[in-house]
Structure 1
Amino acid sequence: MVKKLKIVIAVCIVTLLAACSDPVQEEIISYVNEDLPEIAKLEEEVIGKYDSVTGENYKDDEILYDALTNEIIPDYSQLIDKLEAIQLSDKELRDIHEDYIEAANQQYSAFTKMLAAIENQDYALIEEVYGILSQSRKDMRDYQYDLKEYAEENDVEIKE
C-alpha cells in the first residue's frame, strides 16, 4: 500500500510539473528528445560513410563515386525527408530548425556536385564542393549554438 501511494504521489508530481511547464519548453524538449535522436544517428552514419572514403581514407574515384551513389546520397536524402517532416508550432524554434534543413541541403548539394565533379574530372568543381562542405559545417555549428541558446532562454537544459 505504501509503495502504491508513493507511485501515485510521484505520478501526481510529474503531472503537476508537466501541467505547469510552458508550451515552448515542452516543444523544445520534444524536439530534442524525440525528433532529433534518429536524425542525429542517421547523420552520424552518413558522415561516417563519407569520411571512410575521403581524406586520408580516399582510395580512388570509383570507390568514392560508388559510396556517394549507393549509400551517402540516398541516405542523406532520407535524412532531409525526416527533417522536413518535423512540424513545429513555435516560430523561433521552427526558424532554428529551418537553419538545420538549409545546412543539410547544402551538404546534400555538395555530395551531388561531387558526383558531377568525379564524372567530369572537374577539379574546380571539387574545390567548390569543399567550400560548400565547409560552409555547411559552419552552419550546422551555428544551428547547434542557436538551439542551445534558445533552449536556455526558455529554461531548458540540453545535455550533450
Structure 2
Amino acid sequence: MRSKVMILGMMMLLLLSGCSDPVQDDLLNYINEDLKDLTVLEEEALAEYESVTGDNYEDDYTTYVHIKDVVMPAYKDFLDQLEEVKPATSEVQEIHELYIDAVNMQNNAFIKILAALEQQDYEMVADANEMLADGRAGIRKYTNQLEKLADEHNVELTE
C-alpha cells in the first residue's frame, strides 16, 4: 500500500498536448498542487502504523497506545485535509471520491483495531485487517482510475 501511495505522491504530470482541456488542467492541479503535501502526511501516518505492527509488533499495549496517540491523530489530519480538496471537474471529483472512500475505510479499520485491542478480541482484529485490505484495494482502484483518466486526457504520469 505504501508503494502505491508513494508512487502517487511522487507522480509528476507532463502535458503532452497544447490543447485546452479542463479535465487535463484539473488533473495537473490535483496531482501537482492538491495532493502534493497530503501524500507525505499519509506516508508518515502509515509508517507510524507499520512501526508497531507486523515484524515491529512488541505487545498489545504498545501497539494500542501508539495507534491511539500517534497514528490516529496523524491519519485523521490527513483525512480531514483530503476531504477539503475540491477538484474542479466531475471526472476528477469522481476519482477523488474513490480515494476518500478508501482512506475512510482504513481510518475505520484503525478505530476497529483500537476497539479490538481494548476488548482483546482477536476476531475483531482479523475483521479490521480485512478492512485495511479493502482500503488498500480501494487505493489501487483509485490509482488505476486516475491513470486511466490521465491517459484519456493525454496526461503522462511519471515518477
Question: Are positions 1:83 and 2:55 aligned together?
Answer: no
Q: Which runs of 4+ in 1 moved over 6 A?
A: none
Tell me which residue corresponds to 2:41: 42
TM-score normalised to structure 1 length: 0.86
Tell me which residue corresponds to 1:101: 100
Compute the displacement of 1:18 (Å): 9.7
Counterparts of 1:5-20 in structure 2, within 5 Å, are: 20=19
Measure the CA separation in 2 of the matches of 1:76 and 1:119.
20
Measure the CA separation in 1 of the matches of 2:151 and 2:70.
37
Measure the CA separation in 1 of the matches of 2:19 and 2:145.
25
Measure the CA separation in 1 of the matches of 2:18 and 2:131.
44
Tell me which residue corresponds to 1:54: 53
Compute the displacement of 1:19 (Å): 8.0
Instruction: Please state which structure has a larger fraction of its residues in helix.
Output: 1
The answer to which structure, 1 or 2, has the higher relative contact order (CA under 8 A, 6+ apart) is 2
Measure the CA separation in 1 of the matches of 2:82 and 2:106.
14
Measure the CA separation in 2 of the matches of 1:29 and 1:89.
11
State the number of aligned residues. 144
> Any gaps of 5 or more consecutive residues in structure 2?
1-15
Compute the displacement of 1:76 (Å): 0.7
Task: Tell which structure's C-alpha radius of gyration is larger.
Answer: 1
Counterparts of 1:11-160 in structure 2, within 5 Å, are: 20-160=19-159
Match of 1:95, as an amino acid? E
Sequence identity percentage:
42
User: In the alignment, is the contact (CA less than 8 A) between 2:27 and 2:150 conserved in 1?
Assistant: yes
User: In the alignment, is the contact (CA less than 8 A) between 2:26 and 2:89 conserved in 1?
Assistant: yes
User: In the alignment, is the contact (CA less than 8 A) between 2:23 and 2:91 conserved in 1?
Assistant: no
Compute the displacement of 1:89 (Å): 2.2
Measure the CA separation in 2 of the matches of 1:96 and 1:88.
10
Partner of 2:140: helix, strand, or coil? helix
Partner of 1:26: helix, strand, or coil? helix
Compute the displacement of 1:74 (Å): 0.7
Instruction: Please state which structure has a larger fraction of its residues in strand.
Output: 2
Partner of 1:158: helix, strand, or coil? strand
Measure the CA separation in 1 of the matches of 2:43 and 2:104.
16
TM-score normalised to structure 2 length: 0.87
Measure the CA separation in 2 of the matches of 1:97 and 1:20.
24
Could you give the per-residue CA deviations for residues 7-49 of structure 1, whole angstroms, max 9, x where no partner exists? xxxxxxxxxx998421211110000101112111111111111
Match of 1:98, as an amino acid? E
Measure the CA separation in 2 of the matches of 1:78 and 1:89.
23
